[in-house]
A and B are shown apart, each in its own frame.
Chain A
């Protein structure tokens, strides 16, 4: 379970995230939606413990990110925005390093490394330096790192950015296939992605939650049953009256 309580992050006078609360239960695939600059990445970073909130708290699996950081970090896999990696390493050495840090040993270690390289089709580039790989491969190495220890919680910041349509499809299949008892949070601004994989969409604008419902229910708020119309209306404030009761 992830529980965020009145989470805020202020940079001087700028309120990047301004009092966000949500609870995510196992089995949910949540899409964190919002225009660029809405506070998606800041929220993800606070959930992953990289940024300390100005006020409020986040708990993952009952561990507080500020006071029990290490225990909390063990329960999730995290793909940071842009999938930053160590360019001079090969995917093989990189996954070995992650397996060390995640304390995977023996058969399970070899089995997991084999599984994720197969799942993300990394076999052909295992011994090539990461800095020489294409954007799509780098993203997949980042994803492999996040799921290596088969965590109960996955936090993925724009997981399909830079992938071609086939790869996007495969990553979405991957996310859909793993989630019966897991929590997956993906931040994105690709609406079709949310409709394709998410069971719940949380829309953020200007640091606040402006909608929190299933993608289908959100889409139903528009006459044409289209999520993009609803998204535009909610996040730009156009004819707010029709946006539903989630405005805070």
Chain B
């Protein structure tokens, strides 16, 4: 675990070594505010909760999480430093986990900096803070799933732009897996079991359940499993790279 921490610390510092990190955080916080107060009609609803705030998170993360994950491996492959990393006495899973945790921490920091919204709603009314805390947990978990998908795709790409676009598309598929847009492509020819399985894979379904304050172990487990599966795939992609 020491190596995981070493890798994660280096990656996290790499994020903050350039202005990109600060630009990202400012955009993240600003956009979440814009969405909540203008598009979400926070004041007009006259309800002391953060439903409009969290309602936009699946879409906010959809664009911003791939921007965080795209550099994880593609940048190293581009610059060649992946050769240095992979010849140090570090197991591939340690590098994969370390990088992922750094990206996840980074998003968590950005998310934590939206706390003024929480303060605002507490100042204006008497919201159920348990629900808000659960929704924050759900948001972090969903961002983690996006990042794991993005890390895996980044490992397969040499170009960060390709990694970003591909990740957005794949994440979009996962986000809407329970909706007709995706399901209609399978209904009719695929067996019902498969369609039901795909329907149950939707991020939105699981996130909405958590953000209503229902911390069901199955929803949490779902996101953790998605993260684990894609990190495992990430290690496999790296290993395949050794063959070429």
Contacts and interface: CB of A to CB of B under 8 A. Distances in A.
B242 interface: yes
A237 interface: no
Interface residues of B, number: 23
A101 B6 CA distance: 7
Q: Closest 10 A-B residue pairs measured CB to CB?
A: A84-B80, A88-B17, A73-B89, A80-B83, A100-B6, A84-B81, A74-B89, A48-B87, A52-B242, A78-B87
Interface in B25-75: none
A50 B242 contact: yes
Interface in B79-126: 79-84, 86-91
Nearest to B91: A70
Given A84-B80, A88-B18, A93-B13, A49 B6 contact: no
Contacts of A98: 88
Interface of A: 11, 45, 48-52, 70-71, 73-74, 78, 80-82, 84-89, 93, 97-98, 100-103, 129, 145
B80 A82 contact: yes
A98 B3 CA distance: 11
B89 A87 contact: no
If over half of B's interface residues share one DSSP class (helix, strand or loop), that class is named, otherwise mixed; here it is helix
Nearest to B7: A101
Given A50-B242, A52-B242, A80-B80, A73 B87 contact: yes
Given A88-B17, A93-B13, A97-B6, A73 B88 contact: yes
Contact of B89 (A11, A70, A129, A145): A70
Given A52-B242, A86-B81, A80 B6 contact: no
B81 A49 contact: no
A81 B90 CA distance: 20
24 contacts: A49-B86, A51-B243, A52-B243, A70-B91, A73-B88, A73-B90, A74-B89, A81-B80, A82-B80, A84-B81, A84-B83, A85-B81, A86-B10, A86-B81, A88-B17, A89-B10, A89-B13, A89-B14, A97-B6, A101-B6, A101-B88, A101-B90, A102-B88, A129-B17
B80 A51 contact: no
Contacts of B91: 70
A78 B84 CA distance: 8
